[in-house]
Amino acid sequence: MLVSIVFIPIGVVSLFASRDVVEIIDQYETECVPQNFRNDKVSFIQSNANKTCTRRLTVTKLMKKPIYVYYQLDNFYQNHRRYVKSRSDSQLKDNSGWDEVSSCKPEDMSNGQPIVPCGLIAWSLFNDTYNFSLNNQQLAVNKKGISWKSDRDRKFGRNVFPRNFQNGTLIGGKSLDPTVPLSKQEDLIVWMRTAALPTFRKLYGKIEWDLQPNEVIHVTLENNYNTYSFSGKKKLVLSTTSWLGGKNDFLGIAYLTVGGLCFFLALSFTVVYLVKPRRLGDPSYLSWNRNPGGH
Amino acid sequence: MDSESVEDFYSVGSALSSSSRRSNFSIQSKASGRNSIREANFGGLEPKSVRYGSHGANSETNSISMSQKEIDVEDARLVHINDPFLTNERFEFSGNSIRTGKYSILTFLPRNLFEQFHRVAYIYFLVIAVLNQLPQLAVFGRGVSILPLAFVLLVTAVKDAYEDHRRHKSDRIENNRLASVLVNDQFQQKKWKNIQVGEIIKIYANETIPCDMVLLSTSDPTGVAYIQTINLDGESNLKTRYAKQETLIKIPEKDKITGLIKCEKPNRNIYGFQANMEVDGKRLSLGPSNIILRGCELKNTAWAVGVAVYAGRETKAILNSSGAPSKRSRLETHMNLEIIFLSLFLIALCTVVSVCTTVWLRRHRDELDYMPFYRRKNFSKGEEENYNYSGWGLEICFTFLMSVIVFQVMIPISLYISMELVRVGQAYFMIRDTQMYDESSNSRFQCRALNINEDLGQIKYVFSDKTGTLTENKMEFQCASIWGVDYSGGKAISLDQKDGYFVKVDGSVLRPKIKVKTVPDLLQLARNGKETEEGSHVHNFFLALAACNTIVPLIVDTPDPTVKLIDYQGESPDEQALVYAAASYGFMLIERTSGHVMIDIQGERQRFDVLGLHEFDSDRKRMSVILGFSDKSVKVFVKGADTSMFSVADRSMNKNVICTTEANLYSYSSLGLRTLVVGMRELSTSEFKEWHSAFEIASTALMGRASLLRKVASNIEKNLCILGASGIEDKLQQGVPEAIESLRTAGIKVWVLTGDKQETAISIGYSSRLLTSKMTQIIINRKSKESCRKSLEDAIIMSKKLTTISGTTNDTGGMSGAGLTPIALIIDGSSLVYILDSELEESLFQLACNCSVVLCCRVAPLQKAGIVALIKKRTSDMTLAIGDGANDVSMIQMADVGVGISGQEGRQAVMASDFAMGQFRFLVPLLLVHGHWNYQRMGYMILYNFYRNAVFVLVLFWYVLFTCFTLTTAITEWSSVLYSIIYTSLPTIVVGILDKDLSRRTLLKYPHLYSAGQRHECYNKKLFWITMIDTFWQSAVAFFIPLLSYWGSTVDASSIGDLWTLAVVILVNLHLAMDVMRWNWLTHAAIWGSIIATFICVIVIDSLPFLVGYWAIFEIAKTGLFWLCLLAIIVAALIPRFVVKFLYQLYVPSDAHIAREIEKYRTQTESGAVGREMNSFLDAPRR
């Protein structure tokens, strides 16, 4: 009963919180490939063709600032064992460890030189870019502070600069500005926090602007990132946030279910008890009293 | 030597006495010139030189032993007396230093590791750790994977090292003790460790014997030495050992003793020794009475000289010091089966993962090169090569092995370690239990076997010895029948005659240590002397009691200098009782040597020559002594069991007396008294001479001495005039009837196996409430196989009839409690001879199953074991054997649980037992309380451990399904290693030691509760599978709630991994908390402490910047979602368990549940609030 008393309100509250969150999701990995390449998306993405693509997003409800811009990848196993292990934390932290690349295979060396940052994770850094405009006015995307402060301060060194990065025969993703230290490369920092699940979002930036209903946002995006080779989906997500995080009804429903179940159980126990009580601690229920001598 | 012995009497082996002795010797040895070269000097005495002689002797003995066959040449050990150099020429005999320590500093590491890896569990650990070192399979970091193994090994190693250190210390003390050894014809102090086989050692009174030695001479002119074997077998009475006449006269310093002892190889039998000794060309045979063993103490004898034959680790004491035989608990056997299930499950999980990997690789085989998260090809080296990809088969194989590594905790290795710890804890509480502390003997409960604690909760059959187990084995003389007249007290006479009987000697009062109740008219008769006919019979009767025994009187000082107590020491408690009785009737045994006895008869000290003594043996069942009176008449006194005595009685004489005596005997034994019959005969001179020569021949015979002696004895023990019989009460131990009753209500079948007569057994059965008047008795005592078969068949038919009839009458009558008409089966040893090991066994078993009580009388030790085996073979029920004497050893070792009573009959039973205690009644708290607790706790603990590890593994497994079936773990590797070490281990151990489902009072009040263990209620297949289903549900909840909550969010692997870790740990600990029945601060500390410790560990792990999950816990703990998930997981996961548990308690409550409610209810009514019970109950489902 107690459980239900606590759980049902929590469920309601979290459902409301989840409902409050306004999300715009735009799946673009197919639409941003020209019609003639639709049969062979991989060759398109590997070609040097212009990959710019424009999307129109309509705001359904009022979106209060800050609005978070995420990219969501489906079917991308950032938790794959080979992938997760292919990094070198000591290299990221301090300049002195720049050649500690043994754990980074197969992206440890390029042209005989260690790569900084090495490893598959860094190599496959997401490189689609988004530009938002509202009524032909550029909407600024704030890319500062999208990563964890702890990561910037202590995990990614201030004196570590990209070196020999994306120099190999195979380009996996975004290149990094060799003059900017890793602690400032927030896209990389976000990406390096590998996702737990094969469907994940990563923060791209924040829009510090309230969006009114029915406003149309034009997104100019560079569709560079190759998810086609493993038929992964790419989505652009604009979302507000609540105290509970993003939009997810599951927990609210779960709470309501559990609470309801508890309520039902408590009720039925009470009924059952009233209908057919058993006196507690009644010695006559002891097995040897019930059927004498029979054991 | 005589004078010397007097002089040194009671000297305490000090420097003073030894120096005086030495001076004594020097005077004596002056003539022959001591300290001169040995060989030259003693050449006269010993015609051959030592070396030559020994060789000669060697060949000689060879030829003789061929014919003799007593000791095989190959198996013999040759000891050259007083020549350790020659004896140890071939270095085959160990020195006297002992090493109970297992390791030295150098060998510690390899040996300890070797010993530890005898456990299969550790090998499993090791294999996993080694697998993990292969680069392809490195799931965990190298350090992490070795950590748990290293931890366990280290803990065990430290424990072993400490124990070994203590052993070394005690060894050092033991090895450096001093003993005087004959070196260059002088006794010198020598450290024990330097003593060698063949050396002559002199022991003084109260000294401990350093090695096993053959007695050569003692201070007693007849060569008797008294030793106390308390360190060896716990018997506190003195035992007599004899030196051979031939060596007795020699003085080691003066007369060079040379000779050869040929004895058996070292063995463990402390009651057996076979050897022969060759001295001065004469061959003497040696038996167990000629050897004194290491660890014994010399008592009552000023000194003894012996030659070391076994030293150091070859001594019988050390050979016997190995631990109890290891038994495996029933629960553990069952558990192993479930472990196999778990292994299969583990293999299944790994197979699923491998198959999924295969499918995935197959479906994406074209994309593998380009997938950013897979990247089969390595381009960095210029040319393309495969990166970490070894083709199909190997990839699948690797996946399988990796999943074994990841899911390794599925097999709860830690369970074995925690089980051991829990058992130690349980044993600690059992030992500390004051209800099992015997004040009279100052003995605590002992746990000798540590691995069958929980079996105590499942006992179905108790096999008990009678004497010393049910009874105290403190014999008390109760009544006598003399010349057919029954002198049984009738009115119990108190000891009001102040101090009983006493004698005045040199102004001091001598009094027997134990006072015996006396019958006044008998006392009067005894005092009147032997003038009347009646009086002379009484006189002879008590004289027989006082003389015909092997008791040694010891004079003990008391604080009051004028009073001295006389303490009778002997091997048989019956004899002690008889001698004490004789003493209180005025026939006080004052002194006994091998040549004479001094008996104070009504204040008049009389000396009788002991002309011969035939010791008791189990074939004859009687003993006799031949006394030479001062008037030169010779009489033989015989004492023995009734059957054996009447068969040698002179029936023609006084038929009347025999008849009445028999009648009296019958009435005595039906009172539960042990009876002995006493007889005598006067020997004519010719008869005596005839006997004497026969006795001489027999006692010096080399072969078949025992049987020859027996023949001589039975020649003289005939045509006896029966003097009378004695009745000795063997008192029941305190609380035995109650104990037996509660054992029986607990559903335990109590069988009594005794060596006593049928009547005695039945009467003890009644007095111990084993038999009641309501029972139908079936008695089987037949003398042939056929009649046994017949009576068994009849009995089965009868028992069936009885059970069915009583069943129906019971229904109609509606009698509660009484149940069936119980049947008692009484069967005797001679019938068992025909039944055991034949096809009749089966029918006996059937019959016995129908009977609630089985009483076996007149059974031999091996038959006891046979009966236990009869039950053990045919049922899966647990058996417990309890006994106190050496005759129970076989039974104790045969039964599933052996309990030894550390009583009067020595420590043989205790040495063989798994548990030892002081009194029979302690069996009740041991079984009903501790057994129940141990079983319940252990059963729960095993299930819980299975659950705990499986939950964790399943959470890992679910995650693997979302990582392309590559063995990624979101939970950090450190957490998964610490999971079973820190996060969850302590609470189960604490609960396993401390939890009590019911209070001691309730358990003792309702012995029926014990049957839960017999029905395997706490651990069975059903429970296992229920637990596994619950595990499945809980793991699914713990995994999928966060998964779905965080699906498509920005959460990173480390954060959600922390959530899973914490969720599982809290879940698992709360699950335990829910099942704890009795909380105390330790339980609280362990459970909540573990949760807190987990938080701390997770925080610490996430504060290490070089780990991937840096700061993750702080980031995720900031969000409300995290805490909501945690709460939802815990509640949702535990609800089904709670509901099922509640429904069970409400509708199919087990006895334990109800009893618990009674407990609660009681306390609540005591506090005066009955209504609160209802409220608290209604609140219960709401949580």
**Higher-confidence position of A236 and B179:** A236
Domain CATH for B579: 3.40.1110.10
**Is B183 domain-assigned?**
no
Indicate if B790 and B682 belong to the same structural domain. no
Q: Is there a contact between B678 and B638 (Cβ–Cβ < 8 Å)? A: yes
DSSP B408-477: GGGS-HHHHHHHHHHHHHHHHHHHH-GGG-BTTTTB--EE--SS-GGGGGSEEEEEEESTTTTEEEEEEE
Q: Which residues of B touch A168 (CB under 8 A)?
A: 379-380
Q: Which of B1059, B1154, B1162, B1163 to mutate to test the interface with A (most CBs of A within 10 A)?
A: B1154
Give the tens place of pLDDT for each residue, B848-869: 887 878 888 877 777 788 888 8
**Is B1088 domain-assigned?**
yes
Question: What would the two tokens of residue B464 be?
Answer: 């008990």
Q: Is there a contact between A229 and A124 (Cβ–Cβ < 8 Å)? A: no
Question: What would the two tokens of residue B576 be?
Answer: 């002690």
DSSP collapsed to 3 states, B113-131: HHHHCCCHHHHHHHHHHHH
Q: B391: distance to nearest CA of chain A, Å?
A: 15
Q: Do A286 and B1046 touch (CB under 8 A)?
A: no
- Residue B667 CB partners (closer than 8 Å, separation 6+): B486
Percent of all residues in chain B with a pLDDT value above 70, rounded to a whole number? 83
For residue B209, which of B342, B130, B303 has the smallest C-alpha distance? B303
For residue B505, the model assigns a pLDDT of 60
> What pLDDT band is residue A203 in, cutting at 50, 70 and 90?
very high
**Burial of residue B221 (number of CB atoms within 10 Å: 0-12, 13-18, 19+):** middle
Indicate if B1078 and B964 belong to the same structural domain. yes
ipTM of the complex in this document: 0.94
**Higher-confidence position of B778 and B375:** B778
Q: Do B1154 and A286 touch (CB under 8 A)?
A: yes
For residue B160, which of B103, B98, B120 has the smallest C-alpha distance? B103
Question: What would the two tokens of residue A50 be?
Answer: 């212009």
For residue B818, the model assigns a pLDDT of 39
Domain CATH for B839: 3.40.50.1000
Give the tens place of pLDDT for each residue, B235-270: 566 777 888 777 777 776 777 777 888 888 887 666
Extended strands (E) in B618-713? 622-628, 634-640, 673-683
Q: Do B1045 and A42 touch (CB under 8 A)?
A: no
Quick one: DSSP state of residue B929? I
**Is B651 domain-assigned?**
yes
Indicate if B226 and B291 belong to the same structural domain. yes
Q: Is pLDDT above 90 for A202?
A: yes
First to last CA, chain A: 39
Q: Do A106 and B964 touch (CB under 8 A)?
A: no
Question: What would the two tokens of residue B144 be?
Answer: 């992490």
Residues B8, B83, B455, B465: which is the catalytic one?
A: B465
Question: What would the two tokens of residue B670 be?
Answer: 């039906």
Q: Is pLDDT above 50 for B296?
A: yes
Q: Is pLDDT above 80 for B494?
A: no
Give the tens place of pLDDT for each residue, B539-563: 888 888 888 888 878 777 777 777 7
Give the tens place of pLDDT for each residue, A158-174: 888 998 888 877 788 88
**Is B556 domain-assigned?**
yes
Give the tens place of pLDDT for each residue, B1003-1047: 888 888 888 888 888 888 888 999 999 999 999 999 999 999 998
Q: Which of A193, A256, A272, A275 to mutate to test the interface with B (most CBs of B within 10 A)?
A: A193
Quote the mean pLDDT of chain B.
77
In this structure, what are the phi and psi dihedrals at residue B608, rounded to the nearest 5 degrees? -120, 135
Residue extents of the structural domains in chain A: 1-17+246-271, 22-240
Domain region containing B766: 446-469+733-801+820-917
Is B465 annotated in the active site? yes
Q: How many domains does chain B have?
A: 5
Indicate if B937 and B1049 belong to the same structural domain. yes
Indicate if B1112 and B1157 belong to the same structural domain. yes
Question: What would the two tokens of residue B497 be?
Answer: 């005659």
Q: At which of B263, B293, B321 does a domain end?
A: B321
**Is B388 domain-assigned?**
no
d(CA A170, CA B491): 114
Indicate if B747 and B841 belong to the same structural domain. yes
- Residue B462 CB partners (closer than 8 Å, separation 6+): B743, B748, B749, B750, B751, B879, B880, B881, B882, B923
**Is B12 domain-assigned?**
no
Quick one: DSSP state of residue B1052? B
Element (H, E) at B1057: helix B1053-1075
Q: Do B1119 and A245 touch (CB under 8 A)?
A: yes
Quote the mean pLDDT of chain A.
85
- Residue A102 CB partners (closer than 8 Å, separation 6+): A88, A108
Q: Which residues of B touch A80 (CB under 8 A)?
A: 373-374, 963-964, 966, 968
For residue A290, the model assigns a pLDDT of 54
Name which of B370, B380, B1131 is nearest A229 (Cβ-Cβ): B370
Q: Do A293 and B818 touch (CB under 8 A)?
A: yes
| Integer angstrom CA distances of residue B440 from B380, B566, B1073 | 85, 21, 42
Q: Is there a contact between B472 and B723 (Cβ–Cβ < 8 Å)? A: no
Indicate if B719 and B746 belong to the same structural domain. no
First to last CA, chain B: 90
Domain CATH for B284: 2.70.150.10
Q: Which residues of B touch A289 (CB under 8 A)?
A: 816
Give the tens place of pLDDT for each residue, B723-764: 888 888 777 888 888 888 888 888 888 888 887 777 777 877
Q: At which of B731, B751, B776 does a domain end?
A: B731
Size of interface A-B (CB pairs under 8 A): 252
Query: Any alpha helices (H) in B593-684, and if so which ranges?
Result: 642-647, 655-670
Mapping DSSP to helix (H, G, I), strand (E, B) and coil, where does residue A245 land? strand
Write out the binding residues of B.
465-467, 575, 616, 639, 674, 754-756, 858, 864, 884, 887-888
Q: Do B367 and A230 touch (CB under 8 A)?
A: yes
Indicate if B592 and B615 belong to the same structural domain. yes
Q: Is pLDDT above 90 for B339?
A: no
Q: A184: distance to nearest CA of chain B, Å?
A: 17
Task: Name the residue in chain A with its Cα closest to that of B379.
Answer: A169
Mapping DSSP to helix (H, G, I), strand (E, B) and coil, where does residue B279 land? strand
Q: A144: distance to nearest CA of chain B, Å?
A: 17
Give the tens place of pLDDT for each residue, B575-615: 888 888 888 888 888 887 767 888 888 777 888 888 888 87
Ranked by mean pLDDT, the top range of A103-112, B325-334, B403-412, B1037-1046 is B1037-1046
Q: Which residues of A touch B1054 (CB under 8 A)?
A: 193
Quick one: DSSP state of residue B137? G
Indicate if B768 and B648 belong to the same structural domain. no
Mapping DSSP to helix (H, G, I), strand (E, B) and coil, where does residue B1000 land? helix
